[in-house]
């Protein structure tokens, strides 16, 4: 089948690094380390043991961290934040649900980010998660560095953005509350280092936001085999887009204009525009306090969604499901 690819899929980008580890065949999450410059954490989607990998700028694995006492059912996302003592921590989201509601709950695992990169086995803290409107299929989990709050973006026809309760509990159920409408194709998301922007990506598109319901602008996404991850660079100037597949490339896209976070725009030479003009150009209405479920919100928030031809989408998911069945067989 010959189809026309959307313009967003032909973005100018360069290769940040190529993942060399043959164990990483389904890289499904990506985040910059909080303690180790030029190091990114990633993990496989499913079919792997519960472990994450520290990847250097040369694409080589610097450390493998195994989580004890847990399974990797459908790991879809990873982010960094702080633990209860305010120390750097890594959060892994076992939040996928390919059966759209089969799992009565999903899980998030937290462990201290190691100060030294070396293979290790750690016992994570487990958080049980449900949603206020029933089970969701999700692939994006992001941490606001200003509040240390987690957000999950679901991947369904009635997708939405969900916020954690005020405090995460390791003993009870954590009910994430829907705060805004979303897109049906979100595969990952990330906050900028200063928290002033966040991005949600799909297979062929990505959009930057200044707050839930306040769209700033689209970002061109490089054409990839199966675009599953996005991370913000430590300096806030670029986004890094990852893909599944062995030997996959992580590609860098430089941010421009108001898509850049405040820390970049307000820096000397950053070229920041007035806040009023930025808000006028980027706002699409709605707020974190609103339910975000109006028809207008659904068409305005969380980007243009999947703009590829329907035939391409159907072929893509058929290929993905077939590949997973073969891997599990």
pLDDT, one tens digit per residue, over 173-210 is 999 999 999 888 999 999 999 999 999 999 889 999 99
Residues with Cβ within 8 Å of 62's Cβ and at least 6 positions away in sequence, in order, are: 36, 39, 54, 55, 56, 117
The answer to which of 59-68, 201-210, 276-285 has the lowest mean pLDDT is: 276-285
At residue 271, the pLDDT reads 61
β-strands 227-232, 238-243 pairing = antiparallel
Percent of the chain with pLDDT over 70: 78
Residue 120 burial (CB count, 10 A)? 12
**Region 152-165 average pLDDT:** 94
Which class is domain 23-263? mainly beta
pLDDT value of position 313: 43
What value does the mean pLDDT take over residues 303-316? 41
d(CA 158, CA 258): 28
pLDDT tens string 86-138: 999 999 999 999 887 788 899 999 999 999 999 999 999 999 999 999 999 99
Average pLDDT of the chain is 83
Stretch 3-12: mean pLDDT: 40
Quick: pLDDT tens for 26-53: 999 999 999 999 999 999 988 899 999 9
Q: Please state the pTM of the whole predicted model.
A: 0.81
Beta bridge partners of 51: 66
């Amino acid at each position: 089948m010959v189809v026309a690819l959307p313009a967003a899929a032909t973005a100018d980008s360069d290769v940040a690094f190529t993942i060399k580890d043959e164990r990483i065949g389904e890289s499904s999450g990506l985040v910059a380390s909080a303690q180790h410059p030029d190091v990114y954490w990633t993990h496989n989607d499913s079919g792997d043991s519960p472990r994450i990998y520290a990847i250097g700028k040369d694409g080589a694995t610097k450390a493998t961290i195994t989580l004890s006492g847990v399974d990797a059912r459908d790991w879809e996302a990873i982010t960094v934040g702080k633990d209860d003592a305010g120390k750097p921590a890594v959060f892994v989201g076992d939040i996928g649900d390919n059966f759209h509601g089969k799992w009565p709950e999903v899980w998030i695992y937290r462990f201290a980010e190691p100060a030294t990169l070396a293979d290790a086995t750690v016992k994570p803290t487990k958080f049980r998660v449900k949603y206020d409107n029933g089970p969701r299929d999700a692939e994006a989990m992001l941490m606001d560095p200003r509040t240390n709050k987690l957000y999950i973006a679901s991947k369904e026809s009635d997708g939405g953005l969900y916020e954690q309760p005020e405090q995460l509990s390791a003993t009870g159920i954590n009910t994430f509350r829907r705060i805004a409408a979303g897109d049906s194709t979100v595969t990952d998301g990330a906050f900028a280092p200063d928290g002033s922007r966040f991005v949600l990506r799909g297979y062929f598109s990505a959009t930057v936001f200044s707050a839930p319901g306040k769209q700033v602008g689209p970002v061109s996404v490089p054409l990839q085999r199966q675009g599953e991850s996005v991370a913000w660079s430590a300096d806030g100037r670029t986004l890094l887009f990852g893909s599944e597949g062995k030997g996959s490339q992580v590609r860098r896209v430089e941010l421009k204009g108001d898509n850049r976070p405040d820390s970049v725009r307000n820096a000397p030479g950053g070229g920041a525009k007035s806040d009023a003009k930025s808000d006028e150009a980027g706002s699409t209405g709605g707020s974190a306090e609103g339910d975000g479920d109006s028809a207008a919100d659904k068409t305005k928030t969380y980007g243009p969604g999947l703009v590829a031809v329907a035939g391409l989408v159907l072929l893509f998911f058929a290929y993905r499901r077939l590949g997973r069945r073969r891997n599990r067989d």
